[in-house]
């Protein structure tokens, strides 16, 4: 590791590793910093994703795919389920191997990688930043022309640059997850989502199978509604009720930012990517896809900026323009739908589920769901519309 780099990505998750890979590939001298002792661990993730989002960058490989998914089941508080068929791209990943795979490609393209490298602060330089880093216990300084803030939920790097990244409690899903074995899964190739204000206020419980009798069983609870019980307490109740004979072989906590994206993802000499940019899909809570895309775009943009010697905001902002061009609209729509889902009563969950079940099987789209509700339960539609425009 050196003291001067063109590009330093802080945080070795999918966003940072993609950024380091693409930046190094573009010819920039690149460093990837990871606070933990190993890239990919701990796995704070439910691991469901679509290969559609990364097959444009690299080949999906069996070594990081634990399971193939062909449908999703949404279970309402009365136990009724709506099955939504998927394409053939759904998977449950082995994130530990997946993340290491991306970091390996970054290294292959020439990026340096430092683990146990904890960025503790950042100072402005005339043309870049000076990062204070504790590397394997020793304080060091690293200068970068461009810093990529890929430090996940904490998003402190952008804070150091003056961006307000703190989340309101309404914009954080407080999450916990067990790696469970010895559990009965009706269909091990389905993802299961359980909704209800009792079981997971403002969020949902999930069962994402990784093998026949093994799954990530987790919960996300809206932090503003976690007043009586914590995410872990609610998850324990869910598991006690549904998988009394299951055994946990792992436990992690995590947080999912479901805020609207930060307004500025590009500043002078700084780009913000992945969860740190608050670009998680607010409806599903899925963040891997946006992390990969934003990481790749940030790395490409940073690489080009260095070569052209144009590291200011004016050039770097092409990153956010391209990124929001790709996912901005979906994030906006899903944020509105999220508000409906979060504010729905258990009775409304059940009525929606019931109506969806009445529909002939097939691909469920929003328009189709809307048509079904208009025809069958216009009062429900009114209630949902009120929720939509409440905020």
Partner 1 sequence: MSLDAAMIRIDQLTCDGCGCCIAVCPQDALVLDEKYLSWLEERCSQCENCILACPVTALRVVEHG
> Which parts of this chain interact with partner 1 (CB under 8 A)?
35-37, 42, 44, 116, 118, 120, 134, 152-156, 159, 165-169, 172, 174-176, 221, 223-224, 226-227, 230-232, 251-255, 257
Nearer to partner 1, 51 or 132 (CB): 132
State how far the Cα of 327 lies from the Cα of 339, in Å rounded to an integer. Answer: 18
Nearer to partner 1, 223 or 265 (CB): 223
For residue 133, the minimal CB distance to partner 1 (Å) is 11
For residue 26, the minimal CB distance to partner 1 (Å) is 30
For residue 247, the minimal CB distance to partner 1 (Å) is 19
Residues 6 or more apart whose CB falls under 8 angstroms from that of 342 comprise: 202, 203, 222
Nearer to partner 1, 154 or 377 (CB): 154
Nearer to partner 1, 168 or 390 (CB): 168
User: What does residue 118 show for φ and ψ, rounded to 5 degrees?
Assistant: -105, 110
Nearer to partner 1, 120 or 127 (CB): 120
Nearer to partner 1, 254 or 299 (CB): 254
For residue 226, the minimal CB distance to partner 1 (Å) is 6
Nearer to partner 1, 166 or 385 (CB): 166
Nearer to partner 1, 164 or 363 (CB): 164
Nearer to partner 1, 74 or 194 (CB): 194
Q: If DSSP states are collapsed to H, E and C, what string results for the chain?
A: CCCEEEEEEECCCHHHHHHHHHHHHCCCCEEEECCCCCCCCCCCCCCEEEHHHCCCCCCCCHHHEEEEEEEEEEECCCCCEEEEEEEEEEEEECHHHHHHHHHHHHHHCCCEEECCEEEEEEEEECCEEEEEEEECCEEEEEEEEEEEECCHHHCHHHHHCCCCCCCCHHHEEEEEEEEEECCCCCCCCEEEEECCCCCCCCCEEEEEEEECCEEEEEEEEEHHHCCCCCHHHHHHHHHHHHCCCCEEEEEEEEEEECCCCCCCCEECCEEECHHHHCCCCCCCCCCHHHHHHHHHHHHHHHHHHHHHCCCCHHHHCHHHHHHHHHHHHHHHHHHHHHHHHHHCCHHHHHHHHHHHHHCCCCCCCHHHHHHHHHHHCHHHHHHHHHHHHHC
Partners of 35 in the β-ladder: none
Nearer to partner 1, 227 or 390 (CB): 227
For residue 153, the minimal CB distance to partner 1 (Å) is 5
For residue 232, the minimal CB distance to partner 1 (Å) is 5
For residue 124, the minimal CB distance to partner 1 (Å) is 17
CA-CA-CA-CA dihedral for 385, 386, 387, 391, to nearest 10:
120
For residue 8, the minimal CB distance to partner 1 (Å) is 18
Count Cβ atoms below 10 Å from residue 330 Cβ, excluding itself. 12
For residue 155, the minimal CB distance to partner 1 (Å) is 7
For residue 313, the minimal CB distance to partner 1 (Å) is 23
């Amino acid at each position: 590791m050196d003291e001067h780099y063109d590009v330093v990505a802080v945080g070795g998750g999918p966003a940072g590793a993609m950024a380091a890979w693409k930046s190094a590939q573009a010819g920039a001298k690149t460093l990837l910093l990871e606070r933990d002792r190993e890239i990919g661990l701990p796995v704070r993730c439910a691991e469901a994703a679509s290969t559609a989002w990364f097959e444009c960058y690299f080949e999906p490989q069996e070594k990081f795919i634990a399971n193939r998914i062909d449908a999703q089941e949404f279970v309402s508080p009365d136990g009724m389920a709506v099955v939504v068929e998927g394409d053939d791209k759904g998977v449950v990943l082995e994130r530990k191997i997946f993340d290491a795979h991306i970091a390996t490609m970054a290294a292959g393209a020439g990026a340096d990688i430092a683990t146990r490298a904890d960025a503790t602060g950042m100072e402005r330089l005339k043309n870049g930043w000076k990062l204070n880093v504790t590397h394997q216990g020793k304080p060091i300084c690293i200068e970068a022309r461009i810093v990529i803030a890929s430090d996940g939920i904490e998003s402190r790097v952008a804070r150091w640059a003056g961006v307000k990244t703190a989340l309101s409690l309404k914009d954080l899903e407080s999450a916990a997850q067990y790696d469970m074995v010895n559990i009965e899964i009706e269909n091990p190739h389905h993802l299961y989502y359980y909704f209800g204000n009792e079981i997971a206020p403002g969020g949902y419980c999930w069962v994402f199978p990784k093998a026949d009798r093994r799954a990530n069983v987790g919960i996300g609870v809206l932090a503003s509604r976690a007043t009586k019980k914590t995410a872990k307490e609610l998850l324990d109740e869910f598991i006690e009720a549904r998988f009394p004979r299951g055994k946990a072989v792992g436990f992690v906590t995590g947080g999912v930012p479901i805020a609207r994206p930060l307004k500025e993802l590009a500043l002078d000499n700084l780009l913000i990517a992945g969860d740190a940019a608050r670009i998680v899909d607010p409806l599903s809570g899925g963040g891997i896809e946006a992390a990969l895309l934003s990481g790749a775009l940030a790395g490409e943009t940073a690489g080009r900026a260095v070569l052209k010697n144009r590291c200011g905001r004016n050039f770097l902002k092409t990153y956010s323009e391209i990124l929001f061009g790709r996912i901005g609209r979906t994030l906006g729509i899903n944020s509105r739908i999220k508000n409906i889902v979060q504010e729905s009563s258990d009775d409304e969950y059940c009525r929606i589920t019931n109506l969806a079940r009445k529909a002939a099987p097939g691909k469920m789209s929003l328009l189709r769901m809307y048509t079904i509700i208009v025809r069958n339960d216009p009062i429900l539609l009114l209630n949902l519309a009120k929720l939509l425009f409440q905020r």
